[in-house]
Chain A
Amino acid sequence: MFQTIMARLGRLVATLFAVSVLTFLMTSLLPGDVIDIMLPPDAPRDEATIAEIREELGLDKKIYVRYFDWVTDAAQGELGKSYITDQPVATTIKQRIPVTGQLALTAIVIALFLAIPIGILGAYRQSRLSDQVSSVGVQVALSVPNFIAGIFLVWLFAVKAGWFPATGFTRLDINWSLSNFRVRDAWPNFKGIILPATALALTQMAIFSRLLRTDMIATLQQDFVTSARAKGLSDRYILFRHALRPSSLSLITIAGINLGALLGGTVVIETMFAIGGLGFRLINAIYARDILVIQGITVFIATVYVVLNTAVDLLYLVIDPRIRKG
């Protein structure tokens, strides 16, 4: 057990090292002069400015020295600042992560909410008409890219029905102090998040329900299900009370991993719905060639993703004793 955990943590460190090298190289191996790219087109290009930036970036030093400096800074949350807005990248991330986090979490919750009944139904009525219909639906849901789902949701529920806003997002205004805890703007926030989250949830729903169906079919063949049936329990009770829990182990794992993946996967949907999260900021930085922002957000998202994957792996180890020896 201890050895497995140490090996997993060792791999985490190696992966984080590689992530940092890759993101660092991204800006260092840029074709052409970095300064040309970093300076906005209308900025002054006199010797003094260029020398200042060169100094600031430490471009006169050796590449490994620069990497080491960058990593030490990054580990302390010091990711440089935007050349356009002058805001430190760390502040940008801190401001925007709650938005992206809420979006990703809502998407996963919606997906689970839809996938659990579909998956159970598919296993219960295996190969029957309702199972076939739902598996065709799952196939289609897997093939619709989320930006297409987004547009059609907007067309249906914002343009035609007018129930939700087509773009724009209201942040939840939460006061975290214990004495004065309150949440404001919950309703506009809910209305603004439901369409983008559903667009993201469709693919996840398809993945989750497929997984649950497979696991559930295996569970339903086990003896304890037969004995529950022999006791005369209703099918619904057996499905939801007896069979769901042992079947949901891999579902929970995948939901965790995909939550991490979604932090980097909301880019298109955020752009489309003008939701000011991390992804939206990343795309704007890419359009504006704001290199340090691109670098900072990339390394942040990749780190969260990698750490979360390791955490899920370790959690799995705790839940299921059979893998411990692995």
Chain B
Amino acid sequence: MVDTSPSQATTAEASIESKPDPRVGPIGLFKEMPIPVKLAAVWLAFIVIGAFYAKLDDLLGQSLPLQDPNYQPRFGEGVDRTEGPSAAHWLGTDVIRRDTFARIMHGGWVSLIVATTAASFGVVFGGLIGTFVGYVRGMFETSIMSGIDVILAFPPLILLLALVSVWQVRDVFVISLVIGFLSIPAYTRVARANTMAVSNREFVLAAEAIGTKKSTILFREIIPNVLPTLLAYAMVQAAFVIVVEGTLSFLGLSVQLPTATWGNMINEARGEIKQTILPVLWPSLALTFTVLSVNQLGDWLQKRGAYRTSAL
């Protein structure tokens, strides 16, 4: 960062001191969190670790201590109906007696992949387009932004349904890419707005004054300052993506069966709610807690980031 004058540098440093320190590691960050946000972080860590564990179990041919999510006892082996929680099945089983706990862990993998792929897609492409048009401006910006406004004018779920129904591929990555592609416009807007604010700061003007190349300014001055806000926004957007994927799964339009997702677990179990609500309850709680946690964490990071930019 280019300091404009010594006096300004000292005031900036002084104000950083009273605000949260941006250079803390993950553990320091965790210590800073208020208790609800801590709980959210713990829950998310649990889901992420569970998802990786489940995937690893898949790759090792179900040899780790976790029930096979697709194992169903043969007909006649015991009663053919939902079981309640037990030592063998921590959260009970679903209608065709598959282990609910294992399926929730595996469902977490799908949510995780969709959320991270869509978010990275949005951050990278939306971020690049947004910072570029926000810094360069001109005719190019006008045309790009009006295109973006048009996509944002579409009701999102309808556009997604239409796209998913056209491409008949039901694969985690295809679903994530479609959702990711559709989230580019929102990221572009956020990136552009932040870029326009950063572009007028003294350090950018100073860099321009000493004749730094525009591309260098874009990558060395602007993007590093826009990125934290964009990442915090990605958290909020990720919560939305998880709900959208849940909705698609619930409608049977996401990943192909028998892959477990929280949405299709809820859909498969809802026929049985006259007998028991439990098989609906567990995936619903998993989905709701995850969305709530991602939202909490995102909100908190966004507020923290706001302090940071105000201290710049």
Cβ of A268 and Cβ of B250 under 8 Å apart? yes
Cβ of A147 and Cβ of B153 under 8 Å apart? no
Cβ of B154 and Cβ of A309 under 8 Å apart? no
Cβ of B288 and Cβ of A148 under 8 Å apart? yes
Cβ of A142 and Cβ of B167 under 8 Å apart? no
Is B277 in the interface zone, CB < 8 Å from A?
A: yes
Output the least CB separation between A33 and chain B (Å). Answer: 14
Roughly how many angstroms separate A147 CA and B274 CA in the complex, as a whole number?
17
Roughly how many angstroms separate A302 CA and B167 CA in the complex, as a whole number?
20
B150-162 contact mask (Cβ, 8 Å, vs A): 1 or 0: 1101110111011
Cβ of B166 and Cβ of A26 under 8 Å apart? yes
Collect the chain A residues with CB atoms within 8 Å of residue B100's CB. Answer: none
Cβ of A19 and Cβ of B153 under 8 Å apart? yes
Interface residue count on the B side (C-beta < 8 Å): 40
Output the least CB separation between B221 and chain A (Å). Answer: 31
Cβ of A301 and Cβ of B155 under 8 Å apart? yes
Cβ of B284 and Cβ of A286 under 8 Å apart? no
Contacting residue for A145 out of B146, B155, B165, B246, CB 8 A: B246
| With known contacts A11-B149, A265-B157, A142–B295 Cβ distance under 8 A | yes
Which segment of A42-50, A74-82, A151-159, A224-232 sits at the interface?
A151-159
| With known contacts A148-B287, A294-B165, A271–B251 Cβ distance under 8 A | yes
Cβ of B288 and Cβ of A147 under 8 Å apart? no
Is B45 in the interface zone, CB < 8 Å from A?
A: no
Interface residue count on the A side (C-beta < 8 Å): 45
Output the least CB separation between B115 and chain A (Å). Answer: 14
Contacting residue for A268 out of B164, B251, B274, CB 8 A: B251
Roughly how many angstroms separate A272 CA and B163 CA in the complex, as a whole number?
22
Collect the chain B residues with CB atoms within 8 Å of residue A26's CB. Answer: 162-163, 166
B13-32 contact mask (Cβ, 8 Å, vs A): 1 or 0: 00000000000000000000
A15-32 contact mask (Cβ, 8 Å, vs B): 1 or 0: 100110011001100110
Cβ of B154 and Cβ of A19 under 8 Å apart? yes
A-B contact count (CB 8 A): 110
Collect the chain A residues with CB atoms within 8 Å of residue B288's CB. Answer: 140, 143-145, 148
Is the contact region of chain A dominated by helix, strand, or loop, or is it mixed?
A: helix
Cβ of B154 and Cβ of A22 under 8 Å apart? yes
Cβ of B273 and Cβ of A140 under 8 Å apart? no
Is A255 in the interface zone, CB < 8 Å from B?
A: no
Collect the chain B residues with CB atoms within 8 Å of residue A159's CB. Answer: 273-274
Collect the chain A residues with CB atoms within 8 Å of residue B149's CB. Answer: 11, 15
Collect the chain A residues with CB atoms within 8 Å of residue B273's CB. Answer: 151, 154-155, 159
Is A103 in the interface zone, CB < 8 Å from B?
A: no
| With known contacts A145-B247, A286-B161, A289-B165, A265–B277 Cβ distance under 8 A | no
B130-155 contact mask (Cβ, 8 Å, vs A): 1 or 0: 00000000000000001101110111
Cβ of A286 and Cβ of B158 under 8 Å apart? no
CB contact list, B230-268 vs A, under 8 A: 239, 243, 246-247, 250-253, 263, 266
Output the least CB separation between B206 and chain A (Å). Answer: 33
CB contact list, A250-305 vs B, under 8 A: 260-261, 263-265, 267-268, 271-272, 282-283, 286-287, 289, 294, 298, 301-302, 305
Roughly how many angstroms separate A139 CA and B274 CA in the complex, as a whole number?
29
Roughly how many angstroms separate A231 CA and B149 CA in the complex, as a whole number?
49
Collect the chain A residues with CB atoms within 8 Å of residue B157's CB. Answer: 264-265, 267
Is A110 in the interface zone, CB < 8 Å from B?
A: no
Collect the chain A residues with CB atoms within 8 Å of residue B147's CB. Answer: 18
Cβ of B158 and Cβ of A14 under 8 Å apart? no
Roughly how many angstroms separate A148 CA and B269 CA in the complex, as a whole number?
12
Is A244 in the interface zone, CB < 8 Å from B?
A: no
| With known contacts A155-B273, A265-B157, A302-B155, A15–B150 Cβ distance under 8 A | yes
Cβ of B266 and Cβ of A147 under 8 Å apart? yes
Collect the chain A residues with CB atoms within 8 Å of residue B251's CB. Answer: 267-268, 271, 283
Collect the chain A residues with CB atoms within 8 Å of residue B253's CB. Answer: 286
Residue of B nearest to A140 (CB): B292
CB contact list, B276-294 vs A, under 8 A: 277, 280, 284, 287-288, 291-292
Q: Which residues of A are interface residues toward B (Cβ below 8 A)?
A: 11, 14-15, 18-19, 22-23, 26-27, 30-31, 139-140, 142-145, 147-148, 151-152, 154-155, 159, 260-261, 263-265, 267-268, 271-272, 282-283, 286-287, 289, 294, 298, 301-302, 305-306, 309
26 example contacts (A-B, Cβ-Cβ < 8 A) are as follows A11-B149, A14-B150, A15-B149, A18-B147, A18-B150, A19-B153, A27-B166, A30-B166, A31-B167, A140-B288, A145-B287, A145-B291, A147-B247, A148-B266, A151-B270, A152-B280, A155-B280, A260-B155, A263-B155, A265-B155, A286-B165, A286-B253, A298-B158, A301-B155, A306-B153, A309-B153
5 closest residue pairs by CB, A with B: A264-B155, A143-B292, A18-B150, A286-B165, A264-B158
Q: A145-B246, A151-B266, A305-B154 are in contact. List 15 more A-B contacts (CB 8 A).
A: A14-B146, A15-B150, A143-B291, A145-B243, A145-B288, A147-B246, A147-B250, A147-B266, A148-B266, A268-B251, A286-B161, A301-B155, A302-B153, A302-B158, A305-B153
